[in-house]
């Protein structure tokens, strides 16, 4: 069976971070490991016992930290007269610049991942709320899910997202005979999404060994190095 993986970067990362926090850990996701973990996980499910699962491609969706975003925050800071808001804008600007560098490193690395495609939308900035937010990412995932379903690209789709905006596209995929599996954080997942999925997997219930297969823990790596 052909397996397609669609990852909402922010949504899935937050789920892993939340799972780690409950264990007083810090973890960052290793997206290169995702496809192998998904195939191994599904192969242990009775529904796919004896089935040959083939990973087609992983699509990674996220908002992009752009030069235009940085300029908008800088301009807001330049024109702001309120001192408390200046402090908030200064912190927001520093964070955006840091995240832009980190994202650039990831995007460069992701180019070397096999069967992995990145789809990004420019992040937006709200001066009044002093907030950075995504726009259009969930729409892109929904459009791709429906299009790939109609084109019969896959048999099983693994959604790493809990966004309620994907509900209708999930229903469409299922009506076309596709299996829809969701990996998400149960604490923030809408009940409608869990009910609509053919299989819902709560990443908050993953064991440390399972989390190790999709993420890295700097603390754990440091302890292992000390004992090696």
Domain 7-63+115-208+216-226 top-level CATH class: alpha beta
Instruction: Encode pLDDT of 93-104 as tens digits.
Output: 999 999 999 999
On the question of pLDDT at 224 being above 50, the answer is no
- Residue 217: the pLDDT is 84
Residue 29 predicted with pLDDT over 50: yes
Q: What is the mean pLDDT of residues 167-189?
A: 95
Give the residue-averaged pLDDT of 66-91. 97
Q: Which tens digits make up the pLDDT trace of 129-140?
A: 999 999 999 999
Q: What is the average per-residue pLDDT within 26-35?
A: 93
The pLDDT of residue 170: 97
- Residue 48, token pair as written in the block: 């796919």
Report the pLDDT value the prediction gives residue 220, as an integer from 0 to 100. 56
* Mean pLDDT rounded to a whole number for the chain: 93
Q: Indicate the pTM of the whole model.
A: 0.91
Helix, strand, or coil (residue 156): strand
pLDDT above 80 (res 52)? yes
Evaluate the CA torsion angle 218, 22, 44, 178 in order and state its sign: negative
Q: Give residue limits of the domains in the chain.
A: 7-63+115-208+216-226
pLDDT at residue 219, rounded to an integer: 63
- pLDDT of the residue at 218: 79
Which residues are paired to 24 by β-bridges? Answer: none
CA distance 177 to 61: 24
Contact 145, 166 (CB under 8 A): yes
């Amino acid at each position: 069976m052909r397996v397609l993986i669609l990852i909402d970067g922010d949504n899935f990362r937050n789920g892993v971070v939340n799972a780690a926090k409950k264990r007083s850990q810090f973890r960052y996701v290793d997206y290169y490991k995702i496809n192998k973990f998904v195939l191994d996980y599904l192969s242990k499910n009775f529904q796919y016992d004896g089935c040959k699962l083939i990973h087609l491609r992983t699509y990674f969706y996220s908002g992009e930290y752009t030069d235009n975003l940085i300029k908008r925050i800088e301009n807001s800071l330049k024109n702001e007269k309120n001192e408390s808001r200046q402090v908030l804008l200064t912190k927001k600007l520093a964070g955006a610049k840091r995240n832009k560098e980190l994202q650039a490193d990831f995007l460069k690395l992701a180019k070397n991942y096999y069967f992995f495609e990145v789809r990004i939308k420019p992040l937006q900035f709200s001066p009044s709320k002093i907030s950075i937010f995504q726009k259009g990412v969930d729409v892109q995932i929904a459009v791709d899910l429906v299009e790939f379903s109609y084109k019969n690209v896959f048999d099983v789709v693994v959604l790493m997202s809990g966004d309620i905006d994907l509900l209708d596209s999930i229903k469409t995929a299922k009506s076309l005979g596709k299996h829809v599996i969701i990996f998400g954080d149960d604490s923030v997942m809408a009940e409608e999404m869990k009910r609509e999925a053919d299989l819902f997997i709560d990443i908050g219930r993953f064991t440390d060994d399972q989390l190790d297969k999709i993420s890295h823990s700097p603390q754990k790596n440091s302890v292992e190095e000390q004992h090696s």
